[in-house]
Structure 1
């Protein structure tokens, strides 16, 4: 076992993407409720009310580089929105949206033909009667605070459910909410290459 650990975790809805909750509520779940490995830290974050893939490591240089906006590694989300976005809205999302004087980077946006196969959320979304919903696949190369939700809201299609399904080439398949596993060498090597790091010696 090497000195570095690289963990993929499927964060459930309603879990903070940190190991401690500094608020006074003291009832919110955190990463420590699922991961008992010491001294690993999340690369980036995922909102409390979002679900899906997180990468955790104790390799500080990798964590720093993946968090650096210059590397622009892709993150892919499946996004359930209220109503069905038209071509104009999708093009706006692709080209970039101005949010509080910041223009988001160009994104890949695809309207899914059908609802993706996902585990049920432990708190179902609230449907509005007679209002249809749709699923988008959105790939970003940045991670501003609540960016996907703010982008879809800006073009008039509020996000109802948000699931991160990929970080670069890493996918969530094979994991259920609350489960984690170590990266395989085949997964790790491209990640180190992406950030121009060498494979650490064991």
Structure 2
């Protein structure tokens, strides 16, 4: 079984949380029993999360050797110039090494659900949207890549993993694929 889930902002990619007070988890969304997340999204990221009860499938979806492309819509602070976009395309040097090259392009402001809490709006600081596709999955990689080229991430929404897309799912909704 493979489930596509639109993970809301602020939800952990696990079914339990031992912190006090407990934070929202996947347990609150009526997902089928015995599935687990194939990969992760940080609690402050939103969008497509795949869940499965098949360990082999989870491995194929998440192991970097399989190079599953993951596409994100990224709201960044600032207006990206050609050099910043090229740096992302070439690969960015992070503290854990050079990233693989990314596919990146400017994106018109997408039609998305409202985020709670909303992204802080600053009248004097412009922002922009990028469509960014990577084929590896380091910890907070997209946020670290955009920051390294001078474009801090304000909002991060994963819209696709391989051929699987979030299309038609509101935050907290899921479907079997």
Aligned partner of 1:137 in structure 2 is 131
Aligned partner of 1:100 in structure 2 is 95
Aligned partner of 1:191 in structure 2 is none
| Cα separation, 1, equivalents of 2:174 and 2:118 | 23
CA contact (8 A) 2:78 2:125 kept: yes
Aligned partner of 1:150 in structure 2 is 144
TM-score relative to the length of structure 1: 0.85
Aligned partner of 1:193 in structure 2 is none
> Among residues 171, 182, 195, which one is paired with 2:176 in the alignment?
182
Output the aligned Cα RMSD: 0.9
Aligned partner of 1:186 in structure 2 is none
What does the per-residue CA deviation read over 1:85-144, in whole Å, with 9 as the maximum and x for residues that have no partner?
Answer: 1000000011111111410001100011x2001111121001223111100000000110
| Cα separation, 2, equivalents of 1:170 and 1:98 | 29
Aligned partner of 1:64 in structure 2 is 59
Aligned partner of 1:47 in structure 2 is 42
Residue 17 of structure 2 corresponds to residue 21 of structure 1? yes
User: What is the CA distance between 1:68 and its match in structure 2?
Assistant: 1.2
Higher-Rg structure is 1
What does the per-residue CA deviation read over 1:159-197, in whole Å, with 9 as the maximum and x for residues that have no partner?
Answer: 0000000011111111100000100xxxxxxxxxxxxxx
Secondary structure of 1:148's aligned partner: helix
Residue 17 of structure 2 corresponds to residue 7 of structure 1? no
Residue 162 of structure 2 corresponds to residue 165 of structure 1? no
Moved more, 51-60 or 120-129: 120-129
Aligned partner of 1:121 in structure 2 is 115
Which residues of structure 1 form unaligned runs of 5+?
184-202
TM-score relative to the length of structure 2: 0.97
Secondary structure of 1:157's aligned partner: coil
Aligned partner of 1:83 in structure 2 is 78
